[in-house]
Amino acid sequence: MVKLDVITTRGGDGGETSLGDGRRVRKDALRVDAFGTVDEANAAIGLIRLHTTGDAATDAMLSRIQNELFDVGADLCVPGEAGARLRVADTQSLRLESEVAAMNATLTPLRSFVLPAGCPAAAHAHLARTVVRRAERLVVALAAEEEVNAAVIRYLNRLSDHLFVLSRHLNAAAGGDVTWVPGATR
């Protein structure tokens, strides 16, 4: 159980923060940047949910993903194996794959690249997708320097795909994709 009594600790005033194992690191450390960007992605998904309250299935799916992103953050904030610490599992990525396949089965095939636009929910899904991609790049960079659970990278990769297909699914219900027209302004 998590218990947060004190929020303002002043512990970070010197530019350092604590990892999940208690170690102090600089706030600009790659690991902190990685899990901070995962947190940013989670907030972006919260913006999608502002527009999905009328769609219980989509909102529940996004709620579960937000909880899983806390799992990703918990995994990233504890370097190494750390025994019984929470770790992301491939079952979470497999669930995302299944949801992507189900949503994609209802969509028309793409004949052009999709612009990050459309209805508000879809536009926010595109924004969340780009933040997840940035988080993924940071985790890959971190994995080149330190041990990282490979399931985290797989999860972030699947999540960005999920958010792309979700944006198309949301736009399909609101009139369709907004597609790129190459050279349209020449």
Between CA 8 and CA 10, with CA 3 as vertex, the angle to 5 degrees is: 15
Residue pLDDT tens, the chain, 186 long: 666 665 666 766 778 888 788 889 888 899 999 999 999 999 999 999 999 999 999 999 999 999 999 999 999 998 876 556 788 999 999 999 999 999 999 999 998 999 999 999 999 999 999 999 999 999 999 999 999 999 999 999 999 999 999 999 999 999 889 889 899 888
pLDDT attached to residue 90: 94
The tokens for 8 are 């303002």
Query: What Cα–Cα distance (Å) separates residue 121 from each residue in 50, 90, 91?
Result: 8, 27, 27
Buried b (16+ CB within 10 A) or exposed e, 18-34: ebbeeeeeeeeebbbbb
Enumerate residues 6+ apart whose C-beta is below 8 A from 49. Answer: 59, 62, 63, 66
Q: Which pTM does this prediction carry?
A: 0.91
The domain ranges of the chain are: 25-79+87-104+116-172
Radius of gyration of the chain measured on its C-alpha atoms: 18
The structural architecture, per CATH, of the domain 25-79+87-104+116-172 is Up-down Bundle (1.20)
Could you give the CA distance from residue 136 to residue 138 in angstroms, rounded to a whole number? 5
No. of H helices and E strands in the chain?
Answer: 5, 2
